[in-house]
Chains A and B, each alone.
Chain A
Amino acid sequence: MNKEEFKKTALGGLINNPVFVLVLGMCPTIAKSDNIINALSLGLCTAFVLIFSNVIISLLRKAIPDKVHLPAYIVIIASLVTLVQMFVSSFLPDLNDSIGAFISLITVNCIILGRAEAFAGKNKVLPSLIDGVSMGLGFIAAITLLGAVRQLLTIIFGSGFFDKTMGGFIVLGLVMAVFNAIFASVKEKQRKKTVLIEREVA
């Protein structure tokens, strides 16, 4: 893995943010970002599964025949989700009451299966670990930001809209728009800088 590849993989969670850019895993993102604690907790659970599923799938990528790779991935992901659920229900019962139903749904979260299929199944362990950490952090940051904004708006305007699904959609759209606008402007500045450097060199 060279420096350029490392940089690309490590920044994957920002450049290809699973929520704001790839628009994956929307169901739990909207359903459980009604407050910052739920959002952060679900983000951490998802990141744990994402990191470990990436590592395990990467380790087994040569042993898993192509024809059964999807069921094999699902079994691995579902086992990790079950482990997380057992941990949360045993040690964090209050958290289990608030996000328990959505922990099971991590199994079918597109982000995890997507990264397994697109990255971990084709790459070595270290790059897959970096990809898992990067995407996991990207997801945690996105869902926590959404949770914080929704909770703030709920405090200001009262409950009944921003803590419900319809409010979640609107806030997600707005935050996504701001994120992409900032990101596009940064990219544009970088492009202009590169063009200037190239001209000077020429």
Chain B
Amino acid sequence: MSRTVSNALKATAVLVIITAVCVGALALCNMFFPKYVPTLDGATAKLINEICPTGVSDDIALSDGYIELLGDVDYGVKLADYNKANKSAKAEILAVYRQSKGDNAGAFIIEAKSSGRDGDVVVLTAYKNENIVGATVKKQGESYWNKLPTDMFESLVGENVYSEIDLSAKFGKTGATLSLTAVNRAVNISNSFAKEHNRSIVKPDDFTVYGHAKESE
């Protein structure tokens, strides 16, 4: 074996070993870092009550179980697996909430995030009867957020889960393209999730026990 080939092999081997050690160390560290655990707190309940009113105050909606946080068993898929399978969407589903009683019983709310200009933008999108009934932002730290159209979330109301949302086409140039794209991605992944798991999330009980939902159908 010539010296050149030997040197090339040595260089490759060293690079591979360094990379493998780094990847291993990061994987090990990743096991010890806490993972995101969704919680239904007062701030989230307030936002949900705004976009999908329960008919009671925020405190009662939270304490009396008008809004509940669903788990993987409720919609029949592990969120981590769903997000892994939909990496190309560049957005993630963080949590799913359901209004189990009140004015909009049977509605469900999806919390999704996508990267904007200055970090993650977290959006809550409420669905009822396969239509968007409200949407709002839960968390954002975007520099140019105030350049976004004020009626951006209102414009989503009435959209069907089967429709592809394109806020850029709707509003054109805003001066906050990255933030708008983040919202668009978050709503679209919520739509996809709602479309696929609508039947699992909305229990038949929602339409029989609590009369409101049945009447509104």
Contacts and interface: CB of A to CB of B under 8 A. Distances in A.
A75 B10 contact: no
A79 B33 contact: no
A83 B30 CA distance: 8
A67 B26 contact: no
B18 A72 contact: yes
B26 A79 contact: yes
A70 to B, nearest CB: 10
A5 interface: no
Kindly state the interface size class of chain A when it binds its partner. Answer: 20 to 34
Given A65-B11, A68-B11, A97-B120, A60 B33 contact: no
Interface string B1-21: 000000100111011001100
Most B CB within 10 A of own CB, among A76, A87, A101: A101
Q: B-side binding surface: helix, strand, loop or mixed?
A: helix
Contact of B119 (A67, A72, A91, A101): A101
A194 interface: no
Nearest to B23: A79
A97 B18 contact: no
A93 B28 CA distance: 21
B141 A68 contact: no
A71 B33 contact: no
B56 interface: no
Contacts of A72: 14-15, 18
Contacts of B22: 75-76, 78-79
Interface in A49-105: 60, 63-65, 67-68, 71-72, 75-76, 78-79, 82-83, 86-87, 90-91, 96-98, 100-101
14 contacts: A64-B18, A65-B14, A68-B11, A75-B18, A76-B18, A79-B22, A79-B26, A83-B25, A83-B26, A86-B33, A87-B33, A97-B118, A97-B139, A101-B117
Interface of B: 7, 10-12, 14-15, 18-19, 22-23, 25-26, 29-30, 33-34, 115, 117-120, 139-141
- Which 7 pairs between the two chains have the least Cβ-Cβ distance? A79-B22, A97-B119, A97-B141, A65-B11, A90-B33, A68-B11, A100-B119
